[in-house]
Chain A
Amino acid sequence: MKSLSAGWIAGGVIGIAAIALVVVGSPGSRTRPAATPAMAPVAAPGSVAANGFTLASTSVVLPAEAATFPAGPHADAVNAHCTACHSASMALTQPALSADQWKATVTKMREVYKAPIAEQDVPAILEYLTAMPAQRAAR
């Protein structure tokens, strides 16, 4: 950033102070609104509200992945090494890729995304991936 003039700094300080006052709020508004006057925004338990907008605490259950890699030579290896981080569909939906492209993908999973795959397990995984139906169909 460029050097600042005294006037700009003064204006900035005033602006920041104004924003800070808005954010911090009055002392009364920092307590929970249980016994505050009717004017204060009333937030239900597990929610916060201000200026007409409410955010409510949220808890969800994400669906568990039921599918695994279909049976085939070395299916155990891919199910053991790939599905902790992602569904089998990530691989099964890929277009026909070359053996080199699959090798590059597995290398990225190991070296960049730190998939705990021992080097000796890589050939089996590659053998499975390159033999998936969508891969074979294109050859």
Chain B
Amino acid sequence: MDSLNAWLASRTSRRRLLGAAAAAGVAVPAIAQQLVDLRLPGGNGERPLTGAFPGKGSMILQRTHPPLLETPMAVFDQSVFTPNDRFFVRWHWADIPTTIDVEQFRLKVFGHVDRPLSISLAQLLRLPRVELAAVNQCSGNSRGLFQPRVPGAQWGHGAMGNAKWLGVRLRDVLDLAGVKAGAVQVRFGALDKPAVPGAPDFEKALAIDHARDGEVMIAFGMNGEQLPLLNGFPCRLVVPGWYSTYWVKMLDTIEVLPAADAGYWMQKAYKIPTAPHADVTPGAKDFPTEPINRMIPRSWMTSLPEGQVVALEPSIPVGGIAMGGDCGVAKVDVSSDGGRTWYRTTLGPDEGRYGFRRWDGRVPVRRGANAILTRCWNTKGVAQPMRPIWNPGGFMRGNIETTTIVAA
């Protein structure tokens, strides 16, 4: 606690100095590269901001090649819909097509079907449309906050975004091809390829009943526009309520399988412990696993950044976003006394149960550092737990998050 206080004090004084300098009109020296500190436990959390990627505004640069771009938290305070040019980016393989000809592109449907199809985009645009809001969240969002730390992309909370997805039902496309009796899964492939021959092509699979549930869609529109290339142009899978590993970008193959997909990306990668909450003892090995699947409730305070100094008042306004996971948000509570007392917040408009929901409320504060907790309950009655989980993949973080605000 002492080290936290010391750190807060150092931040406070620095902020005040910067604030005073700005107020007095003193020129702040130009910084060659603006850095964001993701405040990862144990350090090494500083990342540059970049505006160098096509179709993207200012993003947190995790990796240039292949791109891993994180959305700054302040973006989530602007709207429950994440602008396309601020939407996070995550690619596995280095061979990413940089040119897509919409007249040449074909979406192929084959495998355990009556009529293999090669669908042009002009045809796809003529199928019955659906549009829904849904959060696309990386399985490893917030991985950098796991303790003990785990290897992998060291994301803060910004490997997520919410958009209005426009497209066609996967079910309609599968029905067009005619799924044969005995189908078990549907496997999805994409235009990106490994840079090295023999490496496992990125493919994901869903159970046939899930693929045909009428919610899983092939999206070509994102917040009213075509997808940015880095978010999967010309079309991607949208799997509402499930982690984005299944939301295959640059989707170009749909293969109906008469057996479970035996490929690397379903059998070995993106596996979570079957234990409740995907939680195992740090360092545990040889526990039973399953493919990651449904998302869980989460919430974040976005109205004030970590460490912000505010004028001391009996209570302060706080706001942010929440998601229910695989269902809607029922309520969001906030606490400033470690979770002993919770205050209900007011939810913003419901834009769809799979999307973000705005919340706003007030919490009492005392002089000094105030740890403000946010807790989402989803419509299935699941609440965010206080205690963080651990698993070696750094998947499915969902505990109550804390933002420290200094009242002075």
Contacts and interface: CB of A to CB of B under 8 A. Distances in A.
A42 B101 CA distance: 17
A46 interface: yes
Interface in A42-67: 43, 46-51, 53-65, 67
A36 interface: no
A25 B63 CA distance: 44
B42 interface: yes
Which bracket fits the contact residues of A? 35 or more
B102 interface: yes
A6 interface: no
Give the interface SS of chain B, mostly helix, strand, loop or mixed: loop
A62 B54 contact: yes
Interface residues of B, number: 67
B301 to A, nearest CB: 25
A23 B126 contact: yes
A38 to B, nearest CB: 18
B7 interface: no
Interface in B204-262: 208, 220-221, 226, 229-230, 233-234
Given A63-B64, A85-B94, A97-B151, A57 B100 contact: yes
B127 A93 contact: no
Interface stretch (B74-82, B193-201, B330-338): B193-201
Contacts of A87: 63-65
Given A46-B101, A113-B196, A114-B198, 10 more contacts: A54-B226, A57-B99, A58-B229, A61-B54, A62-B53, A63-B64, A86-B63, A94-B154, A97-B149, A134-B44
7 contacts: A1-B208, A54-B226, A58-B226, A84-B195, A84-B196, A87-B65, A95-B144
Closest 7 CB pairs of A and B: A95-B149, A60-B54, A50-B125, A134-B44, A59-B99, A114-B199, A63-B52
